Chains A and B, each alone.
Chain A
């Protein structure tokens, strides 16, 4: 054991490190979001990672100061899992779990222990991903673990950390050479980038430590000051959170106005959408200020004092379960857009979690819905490629049977929900749903958020683009020809039913007009138009 041993991982130290890591992620979130491979609004990696870590910070804030190391680590693991959002968040939660399993063993945190923690985190994360892909955050993590092994006899822990983090940045820089889609889009891997930001931020959170940032990614970085407010016990009664959607949102000014109304204020997102969280005694005033700026959704106001009392009652076994519904199966669906929600409800889906593109729900959000179910089996329809892994965390967290039918879009989710029959057991429903989505082809029409060469299609920023099964197939200046092109491809092969879910923006109206015209071109095809109300996508299409 070297003399540079750190103290063991106490609550206050863990809080310090995580808060610093979180602050770093929060600062560079937009940069990470901008690394999307697809030039479409996507399940934003930066936001997802930041929210996942935020969940960890918040949970640790609630821990008693004198908790043994082992329990601190277990609590962090659990918080990471419950707060995990998006695929990157889920992978991060597995990385955290692996690391905490090593760090939770007694004894001081030495370079050797950190090396083993990174090694075990790597193994855990690779195992968690069904088909590990190189050039992602997995590669970055593995190469940091390898660098740690080589540097484990470094004379000082600062040098050790510096070498690990430098290796991380080098690995990030290398990701485009490992993954073609990154090279084509001219970006590095967002998850890997976020991981190094987090590790570096946490390392900087150690008092007096500063590690250099690799030249290419160097940015003027303010001192990594943990957000002290988050560490305070709240004196306020109402935990209030909501999603604010508008355009040109000014995060700083909102922050300024809301910070006078409470504490634990956290605002994440971008100029289109902000997730706001605050502890306050005046939830009405908070909503008033925010409501004047845009549309509010996912409003949650919890009485924390009441919650605490309720939790105590529940633990005492006093809470009665709701009566069992006659059905054998209930469905949880992740849906964006009021029209789309109505369609799901109309098919008997009664547990709906708000979310989708750019706002991926956490494992905890899904668990809350699962726990509202009264049927013995629950099927989750993630309806987004970036939510599937989050959903797959839930079956291990409850005694109820939870089956994930991995729907990658709202459209396939609807096709699955069509065959839902609550009288049948979960496994039967899941089987029929999988059969129903087999052969459904989906497409989206949206605007490119930046120029790119992707899937062999040259795209300019603000182009109308058409994607089929998540790949760009066409781009252009006008909505109509792009819609016609995409529909032509979808109907190739004799598909007889085209479903269109119209979004909120102006393009949706043009897309609807284009689809009406196409009825003449395809007289034998049933074209079924609905108001979906989803953001970002002018129209979501599916053919079957």
Chain B
């Protein structure tokens, strides 16, 4: 079977934080998580956009909570897509961070032709994977090759993120192996990674400049000269740091860097990483 635009659809949840060109792609559908401020519930990205969310976050006396989509929501989505497509790839937030994958898997068990993929990632990392998959839809790819690419992407991708504060990760309980992190007085900037789906500390440094340098060094170390590397950047409204990051990556010698359009960290992920966070994901083709 050939995976292409006529045969195959892609489903994501709202934590993929897709940039516009992917969000409006006819073959890509999105099932939202829910964000709560107290008793008020909003569908992530649908009823609450990032800008409004971060405004609200600043003044809210309570921290937002989030919840995964129901299995029913996924099943509805899959059913309607299966009317038009033979195959559905459903790509989601790390199962170690959220129950979203679990909901999708329950839905998957009730219908044929759906494959749930645990991206072991979040936000721009998922968007980067979707970007790579959509390109393969465009050119038409044998199913085995398409599946093999997903496997390789999950094994070889690198994802770093830089919160401006650890407050939200700590309070939200999503800090994983980074939970022993100490040091709040000295402008400590931990560069965090997601390893095997879990938040971990890549390196602890001081100040944003050093943190960006650490991410750049990680990029240089894990990519080879001359090969094409796709890079996805996302940010929770932090243009200055994003621009520095972009500049650093583009200045690395001898790498064929393809930056995909930047995405904005949406409400659900923003509730855990806080305003100003920047994420950086890359994969070598």
Contact = CB atoms under 8 A, between A and B. Distances in A.
Contacts of B173: none
Contacts of A342: 185
B281 interface: no
Interface string B182-224: 1111111000000000000101111111100000000000000
Contacts of A499: 186, 206
Contacts of A414: 186
B180 A423 contact: yes
Contacts of B186: 343, 346-347, 414, 418, 499, 528, 530
Contacts of B187: 497, 526, 528
Interface of B: 180, 182-188, 201, 203-210
A347 B201 CA distance: 15
B180 A496 contact: no
B207 A346 contact: no
Given A421-B201, A423-B180, A415 B185 contact: no
Contact of A497 (B184, B201, B203, B209): B209
Interface in A524-544: 526, 528, 530, 544
Q: Main SS of chain B's interface residues?
A: mixed
A496 B204 contact: no
A347 B182 contact: yes
A348 interface: yes
Contacts of B204: 418-419, 421
A530 B185 contact: yes
Q: Main SS of chain A's interface residues?
A: mixed
A422 interface: yes
Contact of B210 (A343, A347, A421, A544): A544
Among all A-B residue pairs, the 8 with the closest Cβ atoms: A496-B209, A497-B207, A348-B182, A346-B185, A526-B207, A347-B183, A528-B187, A419-B204
A497 B183 contact: no
A528 B207 contact: yes
Nearest to B205: A418
Contacts of A418: 183, 186, 188, 204-206
12 contacts: A343-B185, A347-B182, A347-B188, A418-B186, A419-B203, A419-B204, A422-B180, A496-B207, A497-B187, A499-B186, A528-B186, A528-B207
Nearest to A348: B182
A526 B209 contact: yes
Nearest to A436: B205
Contacts of A346: 182-186
A530 B204 CA distance: 19
B74 to A, nearest CB: 37
Given A347-B186, A423-B180, 8 more contacts: A343-B186, A346-B184, A346-B186, A415-B206, A419-B203, A497-B209, A526-B187, A544-B210
Contacts of A422: 180
A491 to B, nearest CB: 12
A106 to B, nearest CB: 56
A496 B212 CA distance: 11
Contacts of A415: 206
A423 B204 CA distance: 14
A414 B204 CA distance: 12
Nearest to B208: A526
Contacts of A419: 203-205
A422 B181 CA distance: 10
Contacts of A423: 180
Contacts of B208: 526
